[in-house]
Chain A
Amino acid sequence: MTERDQELNLRQRLSGLSRLPLLRGVRVNGESERLERQLQRLQADTSDEAIWRSVELARHADRPYTMDYVERFIDDWVELHGDRGRADDGALVTGLGKLDGRTVALIGHQKGRDVKERLDRQFGMAYPEGYHKAMRVMEIAERFGFPVISLVDTPGAYPGVAAEQHGQGGAIARSQAEMARLTVPTVACIIGEGGSGGAVAIAVSDRVLMQENAIYSVITPEGCAAILWRDAGEAKKAAAAFKPDALHCLELGVIDGIVAEPEGGAQNDHDEAARLLRAALVESLEELEDTPGEELRRRRRAKFRGMGVFA
């Protein structure tokens, strides 16, 4: 690509961005400057490097996880354990609590902070039991009219023998189907890694947000490199090719808005990251709450059915 092409490309991207509705939320939080800076950074970068930086930040060991956010902005938190069939999956946390005064059902992947917890929670990779648990909590939300908040942070669904035998593919499909049926407001935010089917299983939501440095992708960069480049070491090239960063997801119409992070990334200031995420979630819920349930469901399905680019 020549420099001129690159500039043209970028200008198109910026003009596209300025027309996007949910960026309003960023401004409300006084974060438009930060976004401007981010766009300038994009202008300066060849952007392959910026994409890889997102991949690294999304996986940063100190990045806040679901429970860090729950502690900071969910009141009266009650965790609900188990799928009532086989097990309790620690990779996926579910529960009820208050967000800004209203009861919400919350579903989120949880990676674990130290080695023992990481092993116990399978690094945030859920078994079918995790998705069955999520569906159970969605049913409670539907019955009592609680909005559903999903926090997505997983490398992908667990790739093991037992997971397959217990029906991993079917569980992910049915969890999405359950979300497509809900008549309560639903908001999802990718807070780290949005890895493939394991991520989208809980992200078929009215509003899908992404934190500034989160990634959302069909396969891990390493997995893509191993298949298409036949070398997992080419992960950087793969990431640059399939563009899992928030800006590109927004451009492609896959997400509805970007949630700002503290300077340098969410790992630097968990409290500030939580404040920004809470504001975005509350604002999204407020936008949805006056819409009748049937209409929410109709619009949600129409949104996802409109996704894709074809001739």
Chain B
Amino acid sequence: MDFAELINLFLLTLLTVTGLAIARMRALFPAVMLTGLYSLLSACLFVLFDAVDVALTEAAVGAGVTTILFLGGLALTKPEEKPIRKGRAALALAVTLSTGALLIYATLDMPHYGAADTPVQQHPLRTAYIEGTAQDIEIPNMVTAILASYRGYDTLGEITVIFTAAVGVLALLGSGWRRKRDA
């Protein structure tokens, strides 16, 4: 086991411990803080997997913005979680365990990390993108080339989703400012 694997194992253990702590916690404020920590640990893992773009987003959205939005929601509710009835807890555990078992079963089919014979690596588009970026676009960052140029439609769709989400929030909750002035 080399050093990188050791760090992976360490981070994954911390991730699991944080997840369990969030699940067991009754007080909501520390739980929100721990979700921030969870996101930050995920961001560290993404860096280790060389997905720096995803790590940047996870650190800013997951650890930053989402935590604040959770805190904003917390201001509207009680600081403690409602106690759960015994029967429902057992049912929830059964559902969680079976879903977890299914997910673990699904990972058995997944190719190993960095394997060369996966469909993604063998698809002809891979060479088309890698060689095309240097010729057609002449920028060093392939991720940007694919996101903004080759898959421009997808990115346009993504920002339309964000646009729709913000418009939806505005339509449902209003600006919260004008209504107060009227009242």
| Physical interaction between A and B | no
